[in-house]
Chains A and B, each alone.
Chain A
Amino acid sequence: MITLDHVYQLAGITFALFALLGLYDRSNPKRFGNAAFWGLMAASMILGDYLGDFYNGLLVLALVAIAGAGQIGRSPDGEVPAELQATRAAQYGHFLLLVALIIPVVALVGTFLFKWVPGLADPKQATLISLALGVLIALAVGMARLKPAPLLPLQQGRRLLDSVGWAAILPQMLASLGAVFAIAGVGDVVGGLIGTAIPQGSLFGAVLAFGLGMALFTMVMGNAFAAFPVMLAAVGMPLLIKQYGGDPAVVAAIGMLAGFCGTLMTPMAANFNLVPAALLELKNPYGVIKAQIGTALPLLAVNIFFIWLFAF
Chain B
Amino acid sequence: MLVLIGIAIIIAGFLLRFNPLLVIMASALATGLAAGLDITAIIAAFGKAFNDTRYVSIIWIVLPVIGLLEAYGLQQHARSLIARMKGATLGRLLTGYLLLRQAMSAAGLTSVAGHAQTVRPLVAPMAEAAAEAQNPALSDDQREEVKAYSAATDNVGLFFGEDIFLAIGSILLMKGVLEGYGYVIEPLHFSLWAIPTAIAAFLIHGFRLRRLDKRMRAAERGA
- Chain A residues with Cβ under 8 A from B46's Cβ? 57, 60, 176-177, 179-180
A57 near B65 with CB under 8 A, answer: no
Q: Which of B50, B115, B159 contacts A176 (CB 8 A)?
A: B50
- A31 to nearest B CB, angstroms? 18
Q: Is B87 an interface residue (CB 8 A)?
A: no
Per the 8 Å Cβ criterion, residues 37-92 of B in contact with A are: 37, 40, 42-78, 80-81
Per the 8 Å Cβ criterion, residues 10-56 of B in contact with A are: 10-11, 14, 19-22, 24-25, 27-28, 31-32, 34-35, 37, 40, 42-56
Q: Which of A10, A56, A157, A183 contacts B67 (CB 8 A)?
A: A157
Q: Is A184 an interface residue (CB 8 A)?
A: yes
Provide the bound-state CA to CA distance between A302 and B150, in Å: 23
Provide the bound-state CA to CA distance between A256 and B55, in Å: 23
B61 near A176 with CB under 8 A, answer: no
Tell me the interface secondary structure of chain B in the complex.
helix
B side interface size, CB within 8 A: 113
Q: Which of A41, A181, A241 contacts B31 (CB 8 A)?
A: A181
Provide the bound-state CA to CA distance between A15 and B59, in Å: 12
B73 near A86 with CB under 8 A, answer: yes
Q: Which of B10, B62, B80, B205 contacts A220 (CB 8 A)?
A: B10
Q: Which of B44, B51, B116, B156 contacts A279 (CB 8 A)?
A: B116
Provide the bound-state CA to CA distance between A252 and B76, in Å: 45
Provide the bound-state CA to CA distance between A295 and B143, in Å: 20
- Chain B residues with Cβ under 8 A from A60's Cβ? 25, 43, 46-47, 50
B205 near A295 with CB under 8 A, answer: yes
- A160 to nearest B CB, angstroms? 5
Tell me the interface secondary structure of chain A in the complex.
helix
A100 near B121 with CB under 8 A, answer: yes
Give a binary string over A271-306; 1 marks a CB under 8 Å from any B CB, 0 the rest.
111011101101110011011101100110011001
Binds B, one of A22-30, A137-145, A199-207: A137-145
Residue of B nearest to A90 (CB): B73
Kindly count the residue-residue contacts between A and B in the assembled complex, taking CB atoms under 8 Å apart.
413
Provide the bound-state CA to CA distance between A59 and B47, in Å: 8
Q: Which of B31, B73, B147, B154 contacts A186 (CB 8 A)?
A: B31
- Chain B residues with Cβ under 8 A from A114's Cβ? none
Residue of A nearest to B28 (CB): A180
Provide the bound-state CA to CA distance between A190 and B183, in Å: 24
Q: Which of A70, A108, A228, A287 contacts B173 (CB 8 A)?
A: A228
- Chain B residues with Cβ under 8 A from A237's Cβ? 181
- Chain A residues with Cβ under 8 A from B44's Cβ? 53-54, 56-57
Q: Is A34 an interface residue (CB 8 A)?
A: no
Provide the bound-state CA to CA distance between A87 and B42, in Å: 54
A55 near B28 with CB under 8 A, answer: no
Q: Is B135 an interface residue (CB 8 A)?
A: no
- Chain A residues with Cβ under 8 A from B7's Cβ? 186, 190, 220
**Contact sample, A vs B, 21 pairs, CB 8 Å cutoff:** A55-B47, A92-B77, A104-B117, A104-B118, A107-B111, A156-B67, A160-B67, A161-B63, A168-B60, A170-B24, A176-B28, A184-B31, A232-B178, A257-B160, A257-B197, A260-B163, A263-B159, A276-B120, A291-B152, A295-B156, A306-B197
